[in-house]
Amino acid sequence: MSDLSEHLQSLEQRLFEPEVRNSRPALESLLSPDFREIGASGGLYLYEEIIVALLAEPPDGTTRTLTDFEMQLLSPDLALVTYRAARSTTSGPPIRSLRSSIWHHDARGQWRMVFHQGTLTA
Range of the domain at 22: 2-120
- The pLDDT, as a whole number, for residue 60 is 75
Number of domains in the chain: 1
Residue pLDDT, tens place only, 84-105: 999 987 777 889 999 999 999 9
**Per-residue pLDDT reduced to its tens digit, 3-42:** 999 999 999 999 999 999 999 999 999 999 999 999 888 8
CATH of the domain at 103: 3.10.450.50
CA–CA gap between residue 107 and residue 118 (Å, rounded)? 27
